[in-house]
Amino acid sequence: MGAAGDYAKLQTIVAAYRQKLNGCSEQLFQQSPPEGGWSFSEVYFHIFDASILTLDTIGDCIDGKGEQHPTPLVSKLILFFNSLPPGRKYKAPRRLAERLTKISKAEAQDLIDLFSSKLETVYKNLKSADKNLKTPHPRLGYLNATQWFRFMEIHLNHHLKQVSRIEKSF
């Protein structure tokens, strides 16, 4: 599929996040689900905060910052199948979990807008990234710019499913 396909999918996924955000009241956005877990607010903060950090990491790869390391086979499989392994609950890496906070719908919209702007810039420069230069992911090992780009799509899609589960719980 390549970066162009990933970019198109990312835009579709972001549009779905926007649509869900627009269809949610501020009160519901802040409310924790009945079965526990993150609120819409916390999911939106996490996913767009993490995705903006990912775009910064991709920018580092594009700028020639990185190291030559192999990408683990399990990570290659995740990227190939475009999905995290099913049947597991994943915990956010500590660095991201410590940043977690509740935000308003307006703040979520601002994060989505910032992400979309940075996404366009990174996508335009993605082709210039050296495929051999990689930076570490906290769980997946070393990834190059295009692998990070693909993982971002997987991660956004994973949490979009979480948002749908939260919707159903109310």
CATH number, domain with residue 129: 1.20.120.450
Number of separate domains in the chain: 1
Answer whether 0.95 is exceeded by the pTM: no
29 within a domain of the structure (yes/no): no
- pLDDT, tens digit (0-9, with 9 covering 90-100), for 60-78: 999 999 999 999 999 999 9
- The boundaries of the domain holding residue 81 are 2-24+38-169
User: Is 99 part of a structural domain of the chain?
Assistant: yes
Give tens-digit pLDDT for 84-134. 887 666 677 677 677 889 999 999 999 999 999 999 999 999 999 999 999
Residue 44 covered by a domain: yes
- Does 102 reside within a domain? yes
Mark 73-111 as b/e (b = at least 16 C-beta within 10 Å).
eebeebbeeeebeeeeeeeeeeebeeeeeebebeebbeb
Is 13 a member of any domain? yes
